[in-house]
């Protein structure tokens, strides 16, 4: 059997992973107080999100099992996108400590945006600027996150 990344194969493995993560979230949430709808405990949201994730994964898994794997329209993985997204998360974590929220958010969005080959540098710069301003408004001013906007620490 020829190995390929067909949509049915991706849906099957994606659904299986979603079910496993959902079950793990529900299992972990059991160690916290669940509470009720009127008085939610610390484990309520993780448990409910785990259930929703597992149900969505199960639906995806069942629909993928009913389809044939057709390798004629196989999809090659986009390694540039994967690399840019993973690198953007690492850069965000490093820059939050040493640069502050604003440069970390800008760099994270900019690097992740470069993962799409159809984006121009101008579009990615504009997107990064808008998302940075929105992130500052929501998280720093609105929610009062304690990460400084700009940090004086150096590497």
pLDDT digits over 40-82, tens only?
Answer: 888 888 899 999 999 999 998 888 877 665 555 555 667 888 8
Q: Check residue 87 and give its pLDDT.
A: 95
Phi, psi (deg, nearest 5) at residue 35: 80, -155
Contacts by residues 137-146 (CB-CB < 8 Å, ≥ 24 positions apart)? 139/101, 140/101, 145/101
Q: Check residue 7 and give its pLDDT.
A: 53
Q: How many residues does the chain have?
A: 155
Q: Check residue 129 and give its pLDDT.
A: 96
Q: Check residue 1 and give its pLDDT.
A: 45
pLDDT-flagged residues of the chain (< 70):
1-8, 67-77, 152-155
CA–CA gap between residue 31 and residue 112 (Å, rounded):
35
Q: Check residue 96 and give its pLDDT.
A: 86
């Amino acid at each position: 059997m020829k190995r390929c990344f067909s949509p049915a194969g991706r849906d099957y493995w994606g659904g299986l992973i979603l079910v496993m993560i959902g079950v793990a979230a529900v299992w972990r949430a059991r160690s916290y107080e669940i509470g009720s709808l009127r008085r939610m405990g610390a484990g309520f949201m993780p448990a409910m999100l785990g259930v929703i994730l597992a149900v969505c994964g199960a639906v995806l898994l069942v629909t993928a099992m009913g389809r044939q794997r057709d390798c004629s329209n196989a999809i090659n993985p986009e390694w540039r996108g994967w690399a840019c997204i993973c690198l953007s998360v690492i850069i965000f974590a490093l820059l939050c400590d040493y640069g502050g929220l604003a440069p970390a958010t800008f760099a994270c969005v900019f690097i992740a945006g470069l993962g799409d080959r159809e984006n121009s540098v101008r579009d990615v710069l504009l997107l990064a600027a808008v998302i940075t301003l929105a992130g500052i408004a929501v998280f720093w001013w609105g929610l009062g996150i304690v990460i400084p906007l700009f940090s004086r620490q150096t590497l």
